[in-house]
Amino acid sequence: GAVVSQHPSRVICKSGTSVKIECRSLDFQATTMFWYRQFPKKSLMLMATSNEGSKATYEQGVEKDKFLINHASLTLSTLTVTSAHPEDSSFYICSASPRRGGQNEKLFFGSGTQLSVL
């Protein structure tokens, strides 16, 4: 199956700093990538859709200025948590699809990033 790589797997930072998370599609091109957030023992919540070469589309209630998304190439999307605070601590997961919009479209997920803000 298609491989999506996410880095770092774990990050601890001080309150007020910014953290960048990378998501790469290793063996396919992805015009669209998705960013999810997950709290302990909760389901995945879609945050935003990252579009190559254009602005990301954010879900309702997600702060655009807090969670900056850049999709500069067909294999890389980044999520930057700006001025992080303890309430931003969460598990962040990216995903991508090699056949966007097709009948058999499947999402492939990265391994996730555990962000802890002190």
Partner 1 sequence: DAKTTQPPSMDCAEGRAANLPCNHSTISGNEYVYWYRQIHSQGPQYIIHGLKNNETNEMASLIITEDRKSSTLILPHATLRDTAVYYCIVRVAYNTGNQFYFGTGTSLTVIP
- Binding residues (CB under 8 A) for partner 1: these are 1, 4, 6, 32, 34, 36, 42-46, 49, 57, 91, 93, 95, 97, 100-101, 103-112, 114
d(CA 38, CA 71): 21
What DSSP string describes 13-54? Answer: E-TT--EEEEEEESSS--SEEEEEEE-TTS-EEEEEEEETTS
Closer by beta carbon to partner 1, 23 or else 81: 23
Smallest gap from residue 65 Cβ to partner 1 (A): 22
Least separation in angstroms between CB 30 and partner 1: 12
For the bound state, the minimum distance from the C-beta of residue 22 to partner 1, rounded and expressed in Å, comes to: 14
**For partner 1, which is the closer residue by CB, 77 or 97?**
97
Residue 9, classified by CB atoms within 10 Å of its CB into exposed (0-12), middle (13-18) or buried (19+), is exposed
